[in-house]
Amino acid sequence: MGTVQLVISVLDANDNAPQFNQSVYKVQIPENTERGAFLVRVNATDLDEGTNCNISYSLTNFFPPDAKDMFEIEKNSGEIHLRSSLDFEDAAIYRMQVDAQDKGNPPLSGHGKVVVEVVD
């Protein structure tokens, strides 16, 4: 009988989903906040290594729905900015979901909430 040699290399499995450091990010902004203003920065961390911990942020599930055009997130830094100017007639409170997705195969994601309150 011959012998068989096996070479097994262990790669980091993508077994941790990104986790936000807060479940809800609340921010209050004056109604005259300028377009492009920085609002808040979210932060998720992932315990995996390499691309499995490389996180990309996105916003989804906006309420009211037109908030989709009002806020944007920088996908690498997690910085949320105001995209348009605020209108007095609009809602005083905006809610959205923030997702953090790693680049594992398959990717895993974590979720948080962002609440923006417009104050006088």
Quick check: 58 binds ligand NAG (CB under 6 A)?
Answer: no
Quick check: 51 binds ligand NAG (CB under 6 A)?
Answer: no
Cα 62 to Cα 16, 24, 45, 97: the distances in Å are: 26, 14, 23, 7
- State the nearest-atom distance from the C-beta of 88 to ligand NAG, in Å: 29
CA distance 91 to 15: 40
Report the residue from 28, 32, 41, 66 that binds ligand NAG according to the rule CB under 6 A: 41
Task: State which of positions 12-31 bind ligand NAG (CB under 6 A).
Answer: 21-22
- State the nearest-atom distance from the C-beta of 18 to ligand NAG, in Å: 11
Task: Tell me which DSSP letter residue 11 carries.
Answer: P
**Beta strands in 64-108, from DSSP E residues, in sequence order:** 71-73, 79-82, 93-102
List interacting residues with ligand NAG (CB under 6 A).
21-22, 41, 43, 45
